Structure formats: C-alpha cells, structure tokens
Amino acid sequence: MTHEANPQQSQDAGASANPEAKVESMFEYGYRKSNYGPDELVTDAHGNPINVTDAMMSAEDAAKAETSTPHLCYYSPRIPGNTGSAIRLCAVTGTILHLVEPLGFNLHDTKLRRAGLDYHDMAHVVLHPDFDNLVESMPNSRIIAFTAHATKLYTEVEYRPTDILLFGPEPGNIPDPTDIMFGPHVAEQVRLPMRPSLRSLNLTNCASIAIYEAWRQLKFKGGA
C-alpha cells in the first residue's frame, strides 16, 4: 500500500533540514537576515541595515519636540534587554527616551534585537555623554526621580509633557547614584508601592507603569 506525500510535510521537512534556507525565505516577508553583523541590528523601511546612532534623535531636537507624555530617562542602564523594551515602550507611547552614559552595554548588543527594534523606534532615543548634558539640554523640564527611598507615591504627582521621569541603574554591584537621584536638579522623588520584603520590579516594568499613569493624566493625547 502506498501513501501520497503531503506537500506541506515535505516543505516543513525541507525547512527543518536547511534552517538557513528558511531564514532566507522569511526575509522576503520583512524579517532580518540571520547573518547581519552586530552593527546592523537597526534597519530602514526596506530591511537594509543602518547605523544605530544615525537613527537617534539629537538632544536639540528632543528639547524642541512637543510630546503628549513626559520624557523618560535611564541613567547608566546596564541590561540591554531592559533598554530594548524601553525603546519599544517609548515608540508606542510617543515618549522620548534619554540614555545617559556610561551604559553597561554596547548599543549594538544583539540582545537589543529581541525587542524588535527598527529605525522608527530608535528615532525616539537620545544619547547623552553625561547627566549634566541632559540637564543643560532640557533647562525647562522638571526632573522626577523614581526611587525606593522616596515617601511620595508616583500617583501623587500631576505630570506635564515636559517632565523627565528619571530611573537609575538596575540593582547590582554599583551603588545607587545618590548625587543623581537626589541632587538639586531633581524636583520630586517618588516611588511605586510594593509589598514589603520583596525584590524590586523590573526596570522597564516600573517605567511602563509611570509612563502610562502620566499619559492617563494627560488624557492619552495622541493615542488611539
């Protein structure tokens, strides 16, 4: 007794036997090729690689931009996946993300790819060489620092689109930058409530809660 071959099964078997061919065929529908180098993680509308920094916003343009949400700032972030998620968060909410060096990773890190970044997302990102550069470039902005040491809840602030929501580095071996989080440039220190004796939330989870609360207060202007 003979059995007719199932075309779909044959196709799936061929793809499993030759995964590179499967990736190449996927690229036809907009996926990035698997052999892109680490400096080619950001692509233009046609899938062509472009330089990461070329896709970013300048500090001057960020200061002049009219936004519907406060700006978000990560001071010296260390985990590329968190920053990748923050870039996508800012792209979908119309938020500008400020990254203050030193970073704990290279912007070409392959883990940024997992957030599905493209040049549209990176257009919401500003890179600052130090914190003073951020403060000087945004002189009319109020800086609100999110820290577990604050007593005021994040919901007790009336947010403005010109505000900068400041988050420090992920917990680790580097001490909290108290000069940054509690310096004279900070207008408010606020915290997210948590059950006692538990570890902190993921950095970008915290940032998401803060951005959406601020956007809610601002009537989700610009959202659909």
Q: What would the pLDDT profile of 37-92 be if each residue is shown by its tens digit? A: 544 456 666 767 677 777 889 999 999 999 999 999 999 999 888 998 999 999 99
**What is the enclosing helix (H) or strand (E) of 165?**
strand 164-167
Question: Could you tell me what percent of the chain has a pLDDT over 70?
Answer: 71
Contacts of 131 (CB under 8 A, 6+ apart): 75, 100, 180
Highest mean pLDDT among 112-126, 182-196, 205-219: 205-219
Q: What would the pLDDT profile of 128-166 be if each residue is shown by its tens digit? A: 999 999 999 999 999 999 998 899 999 999 999 999 999
Type of residue numbered 105: F
Question: Could you tell me what percent of the chain has a pLDDT over 90?
Answer: 51
- Distance of alpha carbon 13 from alpha carbon 10, whole angstroms: 5
Looking at residue 31, what is its pLDDT? 41
Mean pLDDT score of the chain: 81
Type of residue numbered 210: A
Looking at residue 148, what is its pLDDT? 86
Q: How confident is the model at residue 114 (pLDDT cuts 50, 70, 90)?
A: low
Contacts of 155 (CB under 8 A, 6+ apart): 213
Q: In this structure, what token pair is assigned to residue 202?
A: 């993921």
Q: Which residue has the higher pLDDT, 24 or 193?
A: 193
Cα 36 from chain centroid (whole Å): 22
Looking at residue 23, what is its pLDDT? 43
Looking at residue 146, what is its pLDDT? 95
Instruction: Please give the annotated binding residues, written as ranges.
Output: 168, 192, 200
- Distance of alpha carbon 40 from alpha carbon 60, whole angstroms: 26
Angle between helices 19-27 and 7-17 (to 10 degrees): 110
Of 180, 179, 187, 183, residue with least CA distance to 163? 187
Mean pLDDT of 19-23: 52
Residue 81 gets the label, from left (phi > 0), alpha (psi -120 to 50) or beta, of: alpha
In this predicted structure, the answer to whether residue 224 has a pLDDT above a threshold of 70 is yes
In this predicted structure, the answer to whether residue 33 has a pLDDT above a threshold of 50 is no
- One-character DSSP codes across 87-136: HHHHHHHTPPEEEESSPSS-TT-GGGGGGT--HHHHTTEEEESSHHHHHH
Instruction: Please give the annotated binding residues for S-adenosyl-L-methionine, written as ranges.
Output: 168, 192, 200
Ordered by where they begin, the domains of the chain are 7-50 (no CATH), 53-217 (3.40.1280.10)
